[in-house]
Chain A
Amino acid sequence: DAKTTQPTSMDCAEGRAANLPCNHSTISGNEYVYWYRQIHSQGPQYIIHGLKNNETNEMASLIITEDRKSSTLILPHATLRDTAVYYCIVRVRDDKIIFGKGTRLHILP
């Protein structure tokens, strides 16, 4: 079973920051938080991952709480192309990858 809980769906206005929460209250010390997204009918795309420090790359920022029980993926300036299902996954680095149901993000024009 997936070890994460995410809202089923969210809306965000185009040009605004999209903040996607993820709860992983049972995360263990050696488990990373990974984020992927899947645009309709395509293979999932890796976005970002982190262990305990906040991370940023060209696509997004990842904010992990100090107790590591939750995290937030931030898309700083959402566009219509960011409409997708976003998956939050926790795993030991070389372990199998188990997906949950994800959050369906709708970017509104």
Chain B
Amino acid sequence: DGGITQSPKYLFRKEGQNVTLSCEQNLNHDAMYWYRQDPGQGLRLIYYSQIVNDFQKGDIAEGYSVSREKKESFPLTVTSAQKNPTAFYLCASSTRQGPGTEAFFGQGTRLTVV
């Protein structure tokens, strides 16, 4: 089935370690997004990419990095520079053409840094 997959669902890391969150889609979507959600809060945009080999910072990009080497993949690295990395991370993708450009979301990765 077509969809967007995030892995792992739960991730634990020690403070000071970098960690990479995976996001893969087989929907042939051009655009991909990463969001962070803290308890009881809305989604905040970290990075987005509208085409392969190109990406832009969102509202809270500091302490994060991304790459977009393939259309299907948009991994997010949470670096040691991110001061409060514990959060729920959501990846999404959308087409940029046609009648519907709604975003499809993965089920998220819950990162806990101890």
Contact = CB atoms under 8 A, between A and B. Distances in A.
Nearest to A34: B102
B74 interface: no
B90 interface: yes
Given A44-B90, A49-B102, A96-B48, A101 B42 contact: yes
B64 interface: no
Given A45-B105, A46-B103, A46-B104, A97 B94 contact: yes
Contacts of B100: 49
A43 B50 contact: no
Contacts of A36: 103
Residue among B90, B102, B106 having the largest count of chain A Cβ atoms under 10 Å: B102
Contact of B92 (A94, A97, A98, A100): A97
Interface of A: 34, 36, 41-46, 49, 85, 87, 93-94, 96-102
B96 interface: yes
B71 to A, nearest CB: 15
Interface in B51-71: 56, 58-59
B60 to A, nearest CB: 12
Contacts of B106: 43
B105 A43 contact: yes
A30 to B, nearest CB: 12
